[in-house]
Amino acid sequence: MAEKPQPVRVLYCGVCSMPAEYCEFGPDFEKCKPWLIHNAPDLYPDLIKQSNANEADKVTEQLQSTGMSSDGATPSAPKQEEVKRLPGGKIKKKEKQEVVIEKVIRNKRKCITTVKGLELFGVKLSDASKKLGKKFATGASVVKGPTEKEQIDVQGDISYDIVEFITDTWPDVPDTAIFFIEDGRKVPAA
């Protein structure tokens, strides 16, 4: 008889009931966020960053409304000047205008290049995605990133030619505003 397998314990979200890693695709990611910050901080590191910075009051609000204690997540006071309320009470962080390019390795040798932030320069992402796909003769699509922001995923490693293409195609984007993520660090492309 084969060795007895131990059952895997999966972390299920206390709000939407799915494995916590799928909350971002769940019926209401916003509602899961306070739970995730407490129970699955490793899965969504960006949430912690957000909650520690500008979205602090929103998160605290949600923690209170879901009856969870907010200790451990007591964030510093939000900087008012950087917070802008959108219709519907959503808070939007004023973002630094920059384009961030990251190469992500998937399944051993396959890889994709993600491009974030073009929309901050008034570029239409669907249009940009088409242009990128055409230029590099590959698949490119607009997808929602882990933090619910849209980004462009381009199949293959195109990170070395992409800077020139971006500055040529969209002159509004200066090369000083383009950054690469390398080994987890942000480095200027120029």
Partner 1 sequence: MFKKFSSEEVSAQNQVKASVQRKIRQSIAEEYPGLEPVLDELLPKKSALVVAKCQNHLNLVLVNDVPLFFNIRDGPYMPTLRLLHQYPNIMKKFQVDRGAIKFVLAGANIMCPGLTSPGGALDEEVEAETPVAIMAEGKQHALAIGFTKMSAKDIKSINKGIGVDNMHYLNDGLWKMERLN
Q: Report which of 164, 138, 168 is spatially closest to residue 152, judged by C-alpha positions.
A: 138
Contact predicate 59/78, CB 8 Å = no
23 binds, among partner 1, Zn ion, none (CB under 5 to 8 A by kind): Zn ion
Nearer to partner 1, 18 or 68 (CB): 18
Contact predicate 129/158, CB 8 Å = no
184 touches partner 1 (CB under 8 A):
no
1 binds, among Zn ion, partner 1, none (CB under 5 to 8 A by kind): partner 1
Nearer to partner 1, 45 or 139 (CB): 139
CA-to-CA distance for 116 and 18, rounded, in angstroms? 28
155 binds, among partner 1, Zn ion, none (CB under 5 to 8 A by kind): partner 1
With CB under 8 A as the contact rule, the residue among 52, 147, 155, 169 that binds partner 1 is 155
CA-to-CA distance for 186 and 101, rounded, in angstroms? 9
List the beta bridge partners of residue 141.
153
Q: Which region among 27-35, 101-109, 110-118, 153-161 touches Zn ion (by CB under 5 A)?
A: 27-35
